[in-house]
Chain A
Amino acid sequence: EAGVTQFPSHSVIEKGQTVTLRCDPISGHDNLYWYRRVMGKEIKFLLHFVKESKQDESGMPNNRFLAERTGGTYSTLKVQPAELEDSGVYFCASSQDLGQGHEKLFFGSGTQLSVL
């Protein structure tokens, strides 16, 4: 079974440019999450989709970040315009809703974003 895949694995852009990260969750997983780790800090939650709906976007840092999950399958996270402090590793995770109020997350390998 394919795991969570993220593309690209690395992205180097200049301040002010736009970058779009993509995540393909495990097939059948309704829950999709975005997390990020900035330099020297812990992994922090950004937002949570259930199918195509945003369930919780309380972790989105500002309106330069836009996440979508059209059709409830893959998701994109766009940063426009990118700033230096956006540099870090962006992780996507997915999970299957088992109706237990919690589930284990399956993470992708992340996208290393460097804003110069």
Chain B
Amino acid sequence: SQKIEQNSEALNIQEGKTATLTCNYTNYSPAYLQWYRQDPGRGPVFLLLIRENEKEKRKERLKVTFDTTLKQSLFHITASQPADSATYLCALDTGRRALTFGSGTRLQVQP
């Protein structure tokens, strides 16, 4: 069956360190993979999109990698700040436009 796995355990890191979040999937052939940030009581906010033929994408302190062989995406936040504390969601786009979301990983950056 199709499955998207994100680490359900919260990730606690110290301010200034790099946070690395993982998204693994099985039985999908995504054309694109997107990462969103969600704060309590709010809707998801788009961060980055990476295509299946791209290995890496960067935006300011954010970096996403996409390995279609391993069926995995890694999301990195460098020089993390307490304001980065939120839940981060990965979402697969198989080209149908309907996104399939993972359950999200909660990141807590300690000052």
Q: Give A contacts to B, CB under 8 Å.
A: 4, 31, 33, 35, 41-45, 48, 55-56, 58-59, 91, 93, 101-102, 104-110
Q: How far is the CA of A44 from the CA of B97 in the complex (A)?
A: 13
Of the candidates B4, B41, B96, B99, the one whose C-beta lies within 8 Å of that of A105 is B99
Q: How many Cβ-Cβ contacts under 8 Å join chain A to chain B? A: 55
Residues of B in contact (CB 8 Å), total 24
CB pair B99–A45 under 8 Å, yes or no, is yes
Q: Give B contacts to A, CB under 8 Å.
A: 4, 31-32, 34, 36, 41-46, 49, 89, 93, 95-104
**B74 → chain A, closest Cβ, in Å?**
19
| Residue of B41, B49, B97, B104 contacting most chain A CB atoms (<10 Å) | B97
A56-B97 in contact given A106-B46, A107-B43, A109-B43 (Cβ < 8 Å): yes
CB pair A43–B98 under 8 Å, yes or no, is no
Q: How far is the CA of A61 from the CA of B58 in the complex (A)?
A: 37
Q: How far is the CA of A35 from the CA of B89 in the complex (A)?
A: 14
A107-B44 in contact given A41-B103, A42-B104, A102-B93 (Cβ < 8 Å): yes
